[in-house]
Chain A
Amino acid sequence: MDFWPAFIGFIFLLLAPFIGMLVIGLDRKITARMQNRIGPPVLQPLYDVIKLFGKEDKIVNRGQVVFAYAFFVMVVLATSLFCLRSDLLVIFFLLNAGAIFMVMGAYSTRSAFSTIGANRELLQMLAYEPIFLLVIFSIGYAVKSFTIDAIYEPLILKLPLALVAMVIVLMIKMQKSPFDISTAHTEIISGTMVEYSGTYLGLLKLTHWYELFLILGTMALFVIIPGNFVLSIIAMLVLIAVVYGIVMLIDNITTRLTWDALLKVALPLGIGLITANLIYVWYIGGA
Chain B
Amino acid sequence: MGAMITMSGDIGITIYPLALTTVIPLLIGLICYLLPNRYIRNVLVGIGVLSAIIGGLWLFFQLSSSGGVITLEIDRISLLGISFSLFELISALDFALLIGFLLIAWERRSYWAGLFALLQLIPLAWYEFMYMPSHADAHGSVAPVYIDYWSGIMCLIISIIGSLIVIYAIKYMEGQRNQNRFFAYMVGFLGAMNAAVFSNNLLWFFFFWEVTTLACYMLIKHEETEEALRNAKWALEVTLGGGTAMAFAIVWLGTMGTPVTSFTELLQASGTNIIPTMLILALAFISLAGLTKSAQVPFQSWLLGAMVAPTPVSALLHSSTMVKLGVYLFIRISPVFQHLPSLGYILAIIGGFSFMVTAILAISQNNAKKVLAYSTIGNLGLIILLAALHTPFSLTAAIVLTVFHAISKALLFLGVGVVQHETHSKEIENMDGLILRKPFITTVLLMGIMTMIIPPFGMFLGKYFAVQAGLEFPLIIFFIAVGSAATVVYYLKWIGRMINMETDAELTPEHMSILFSAPLVVMLSLAVIFSVLVAPVIESFINPTVKVLGFPATVSSAFYGTSVITPWGYITPVFIGLFLLAVFLVPLFAHMDRKALTKVYSCGVEYPTVIGGVYFERIMGEEKLNDYVNSLGVGLIAVLIAFGVLAITMSGVI
Residues of A bordering B, CB below 8 Å: 56-63, 65-66, 69-70, 73-74, 77, 86-90, 93-94, 96-97, 100, 103-104, 107-115, 118-119, 122-123, 125-126, 129-131, 133-134, 137, 140-141, 144-147, 189, 194-195, 260, 263, 267, 271, 275, 278, 282, 287
Contact = CB atoms under 8 A, between A and B. Distances in A.
Nearest to A133: B481
Given A115-B500, A133-B481, A87 B571 contact: yes
Contacts of A90: 455, 464, 569, 571
B569 A89 contact: yes
Contact of A129 (B488, B502, B568, B601): B488
A111 B602 contact: yes
B579 interface: yes
A96 B488 contact: yes
Interface in B466-503: 467-468, 470-471, 474, 477-478, 480-482, 484-486, 488-489, 492-493, 495-497, 499-503
Given A90-B569, A97-B454, A109 B488 contact: no
A93 B609 CA distance: 34
Nearest to B453: A100
B611 A115 contact: yes
B492 A104 contact: yes
Contacts of A114: 600
Contacts of B477: 133-134, 137
A231 to B, nearest CB: 27
A60 B584 CA distance: 18
B587 interface: yes
A122 B470 contact: no
How large, as a class, is the contact surface on chain B?
Answer: 35 or more
A130 B482 contact: yes
Contact of A58 (B474, B499, B579, B596): B596
Contacts of B1: none
B429 to A, nearest CB: 14
B596 A129 contact: no
Contacts of B460: 93
B582 interface: yes
B445 to A, nearest CB: 13
Contact of A144 (B471, B480, B497, B580): B471
A122 B489 contact: yes
B593 interface: yes
B492 A61 contact: no
Interface in B414-470: 433, 453-455, 460, 463-464, 467-468, 470
Contacts of A62: 587, 592
Contact of A59 (B433, B570, B596): B596
B68 to A, nearest CB: 31
B599 interface: yes
A133 B455 CA distance: 15
B13 interface: no
9 contacts: A60-B598, A62-B592, A93-B460, A93-B464, A96-B488, A97-B453, A122-B488, A125-B485, A130-B481
Contacts of A112: 602, 609, 611
Contacts of B597: 58-61
A130 B568 contact: no
Given A134-B477, A141-B471, A110 B489 contact: no
B500 A87 contact: no
7 nearest CB pairs, A to B: A107-B496, A146-B569, A130-B481, A111-B600, A87-B569, A129-B485, A57-B596
A111 B489 CA distance: 20
Contact of B599 (A60, A70, A119): A60
Contact of B478 (A69, A87, A88, A271): A271
B579 A93 contact: no
Contacts of A89: 464, 467-468, 569, 571
A125 B488 contact: yes
Contacts of A145: 568-569
A126 B501 contact: no
Contacts of A115: 496, 500, 611
Given A90-B569, A108-B500, A137-B467, 14 more contacts: A66-B583, A66-B586, A90-B571, A93-B455, A97-B455, A104-B492, A107-B499, A111-B600, A115-B500, A133-B481, A137-B470, A137-B477, A141-B471, A189-B601
A61 B584 CA distance: 15
A128 to B, nearest CB: 8
Given A63-B499, A87-B571, A108-B500, A125 B467 contact: no
Contacts of B467: 89, 133, 137
Contacts of B619: 260, 263
A244 B378 CA distance: 38
